[in-house]
Structure 1
Amino acid sequence: MNNRSDDTNNTDHSTNGSHTEKAPLALLAELTHRCPFQCPYCSNPLELETAKNELTTEEWMKVIKEAGKMGIHQIHFSGGEPSVRTDLEDLVKCSSDSGLYSNLITAGYPINEERLKKLAELGLEHVQVSFDDVEEKNADYIGGLKGGHQKKLQVAKWVRAVDLPLTINAVMHRQNIEHLEEMIEMAQKLGARRLEVAQVQYYGWALKNRAAFIPTPAQLDKATEIVESARKRLKGILVIDYVIPDYYAKRPKVCMGGWGLRFLNINPKGLVLPCHAAESIPSLTFDSVKEHSLEWIWKNSEAFKAFRGTDWMPEPCRSCDQKEIDWGGCRCQAFALTGDAKNTDPACELSPLHEKIFGMAAEEAKKEPPEFIYRKIGKEFNSPF
């Protein structure tokens, strides 16, 4: 997610841990799960939606208009690859007309220069392009698309040519982490204003491929040193955000700004989710924009209420002085690693499973990485080409 703000004016906090939500800060619109790339770290669910199940142009425009009326500030067009939707221009214009700041999160294919220029004219305000490495062969191997790296480089240059702000998302892991310094240099050369050094987070396809991606603690320590040095060196030139693997953290990340507090996602078929991985929690039922308004879902959906605020928390979270800072961490990760979404996020050092998870990750990282299981609708591939 791009352009997160520290503005908390959209949320009223009461003293008993419950919350009355006026409006979220941002909406992530997952327009499609279709994508020419087959990234094995993709955060999309393992069961990907086909084109026939996607919301129509009219349905998306209805959602966008409702978001504007609710007071949502930002819309982030994502996927899959959002540019495979031929109606992207219509949705960007609708967002601009509705007063929403719009950001395109793209892997860089199949978009072209003329289309980027048109999107900018229609009101698109920012573009984020993901990169898998600086070395073309390895980048294409990771992304599962021959020629993909060169296309990403071209798209990044086009973004700057049409005078749109550019963020580079450097997806880092054990198979490219030794090139982090070169990735930072590449972001500078491409004219990016912001760089996300995002270590793979283990949800969806990334969880399935964790053993192929998890870095060693020593690799992570070196990466952290590189980022800290670059931040000092490039202050005022390039903003660098840095996300480490949860498995090596001491405290959980503030996932999505807190469950149901600041962000919402809409998947390709119209289900509204508190986060992109929320469907992995089987006990939750999600409401659809085909049946309810966006505002109704935000305020009334049982899925959003399930872990909103602090009243749901067990110990040690309930007594923790950080509970209204990290909001209990990631519920999807708690479910994936403990089998219960209410449990303390194992990324937290207060979790009884924290050391076990750390040790498991460190042991996996010592072994030779297995072949990738590539992201593909309806299939699993062990060869990218």
Structure 2
Amino acid sequence: MNLDMKWLAWEITSRCNLSCIHCRSSSTMQKEENELTTKEAFKILDDLAEFAKPTIVLSGGEPLLRKDVYEIARYGAEKGIRMTLATNGTLVNDEIAKKIKDSGIKSCSLSLDGATPEVHDNFRKQKGAFKSVMRCIEIFKKHNIPFLINSSFTKRNQKDIAETLRMAIELGAMAWFMFVIIPTGRGAGVTEEFIDKDTYVEILKWHYEREKEGKIRMRPVCAPFYFRLKKEWGDKENIKDKSSPLGFISDRGCIGAVGGVFVSKEGMVTPCSYFPFEVGHVRKNSIREIWENSPRLNELRDFDNYQGDCHYCEYRVVCGGCRALAYFFKGNHLEKDPYCDYKPKRI
């Protein structure tokens, strides 16, 4: 298997000025004492530059609350690494935008969870959050900072899905990513709001039809079985997938462990931000040693280890299933993705 690391999500802080209902890390404004230092952050970037040039997503929490975020971004950019930033947009002004631009950050992702202030602000638990995102987008445009939009949906805001996509296109986003909520952090407290499987397949069918229109790059995140559905639907219509994903995103359903990893604020490495098990720690080993030699990562890369229907599925290389959902709903990360009802032909 090709072990080319294409993507690394990095929680440089867990501090955040919002209290979103689905936050995987239950972030607050409380300061964390064990965050990686600037020097340790530079060491990670040095290690990465020796063997890979993944796209790095500086995230949180709210990464703009960390004072050295621009220093970290600039250091990575000077190493030839593509640096990006995930922000809620509430702290962005002209001065911040200039710092983002000058630090070498290539693009930013913004969260937009509804097409109106009422819906988005309710989801984000902050009055004025929607207005802040709209203001941030105008500032990004002014400073020529490309941005993509991430949207998370539950029953609370699912009626806004189509309108949110329309807004993303109208606002000039470079891409739109639709997220399935994983029951971690505060997300574990809203499982009764999760969209049921049948409805979600209908939403994915709608996504497929919109994706074919080619108005914006789009992808459902943490819904790996979409890539099996997409292939099935495309085969029926005799359509070859010509979608052009962003450079750091593969056309495989789940890229955790296979195409990238997550680094937490204190240096713990996991296959993705939702996965419950540590696969290494950058304070103990280099990121390269973890990437190439972690037993847990290598376990996930060997699809023969998958259990239940995923073990036999002819689409397992295309899809891979969500290992985090399998763990949280079935207690076994190698079991079948609970959102998938496909009965495979045995391979």
TM-score of the aligned structures, taking structure 2 as reference length: 0.82
| 1:240 equivalent in structure 2 | 218
Q: Is the 8 A contact 1:249 1:348 kept in 2?
A: no
Shift of 1:123: 1.0
Shift of 1:36: 0.9
The aligned runs of 1:35-54 (5 Å cut-off) are 35-44=16-25, 50-54=31-35
Q: Hey, what's the Cα distance between the residues in 2 that align with 1:330 and 1:228?
A: 19
AA aligned to 2:269 is V
The aligned runs of 1:279-294 (5 Å cut-off) are 280-281=276-277, 285-294=278-287
Q: Closer, same or farther in 2 for the Cα pair 1:256/1:250, shift >3 Å?
A: closer
Q: Closer, same or farther in 2 for the Cα pair 1:216/1:265, shift >3 Å?
A: closer
| 2:68 equivalent in structure 1 | 87
| 2:44 equivalent in structure 1 | 63
Shift of 1:249: 10
Shift of 1:184: 2.4
| 2:110 equivalent in structure 1 | 129
Q: Deviations over 1:331-380 (max 9, x none)?
A: 2221211122232222332579xxxxxxxxxxxxxxxxxxxxxxxxxxxx
Shift of 1:112: 2.2
Shift of 1:102: 1.4
Q: Is the 8 A contact 1:195 1:239 kept in 2?
A: yes
Kindly indicate whether residue 304 of structure 2 is the aligned counterpart of residue 307 of structure 1: no
Q: Closer, same or farther in 2 for the Cα pair 1:119/1:335, shift >3 Å?
A: same
Q: Looking at both structures, which has the greater relative contact order when contacts are Cα pairs under 8 Å and sequence separation is at least 6?
A: 1
Kindly indicate whether residue 264 of structure 2 is the aligned counterpart of residue 260 of structure 1: no
| 1:177 equivalent in structure 2 | 158
Kindly indicate whether residue 320 of structure 2 is the aligned counterpart of residue 342 of structure 1: no
Shift of 1:267: 0.2
Q: Deviations over 1:184-211 (max 9, x none)?
A: 2322332212122334344443232111
The aligned runs of 1:1-385 (5 Å cut-off) are 11-12=1-2, 21=3, 23-44=4-25, 50-214=31-195, 217-218=198-199, 221=202, 223-224=203-204, 227-228=207-208, 230-233=210-213, 235=214, 237-243=215-221, 256-257=254-255, 259-278=256-275, 280-281=276-277, 285-327=278-320, 329-349=321-341
* Structure 2 SS opposite 1:117: helix
Q: Hey, what's the Cα distance between the residues in 2 that align with 1:60 and 1:50?
A: 18
Q: Hey, what's the Cα distance between the residues in 1 that align with 2:196 and 2:339?
A: 16
Q: Hey, what's the Cα distance between the residues in 2 that align with 1:48 and 1:169?
A: 22
Q: Closer, same or farther in 2 for the Cα pair 1:141/1:262, shift >3 Å?
A: same
Q: Is the 8 A contact 2:177 2:218 kept in 1?
A: yes
Q: Hey, what's the Cα distance between the residues in 1 that align with 2:206 and 2:311?
A: 36
Q: Closer, same or farther in 2 for the Cα pair 1:306/1:133, shift >3 Å?
A: same
Q: Hey, what's the Cα distance between the residues in 2 that align with 1:251 and 1:181?
A: 20
Give the percent of matched residue pairs that are identical in Structure 1 and Structure 2.
23
Q: Is the 8 A contact 2:226 2:253 kept in 1?
A: no
Shift of 1:246: 7.7
Q: Hey, what's the Cα distance between the residues in 2 that align with 1:317 and 1:165?
A: 37
Shift of 1:295: 0.8
| 1:367 equivalent in structure 2 | none
Segment of structure 1 superposing worse, 203-212 or 91-100 = 203-212
Q: Hey, what's the Cα distance between the residues in 2 that align with 1:256 and 1:245?
A: 8
Segment of structure 1 superposing worse, 114-123 or 95-104 = 114-123
Q: Deviations over 1:273-303 (max 9, x none)?
A: 111122x24xxx4422112111111122233
Segment of structure 1 superposing worse, 39-48 or 85-94 = 39-48
* Structure 1 SS opposite 2:58: strand
Shift of 1:316: 3.8
Q: Deviations over 1:158-197 (max 9, x none)?
A: 1121112111112222222222332123223322121223
Q: Is the 8 A contact 2:223 2:322 kept in 1?
A: no
Segment of structure 1 superposing worse, 294-303 or 313-322 = 313-322
Segment of structure 1 superposing worse, 77-86 or 331-340 = 331-340
Q: Is the 8 A contact 2:228 2:318 kept in 1?
A: no
Q: Hey, what's the Cα distance between the residues in 2 that align with 1:243 and 1:266?
A: 18
The runs of 5 or more residues in structure 2 that have no matched partner are: 231-250
Q: Hey, what's the Cα distance between the residues in 2 that align with 1:318 and 1:351?
A: 11
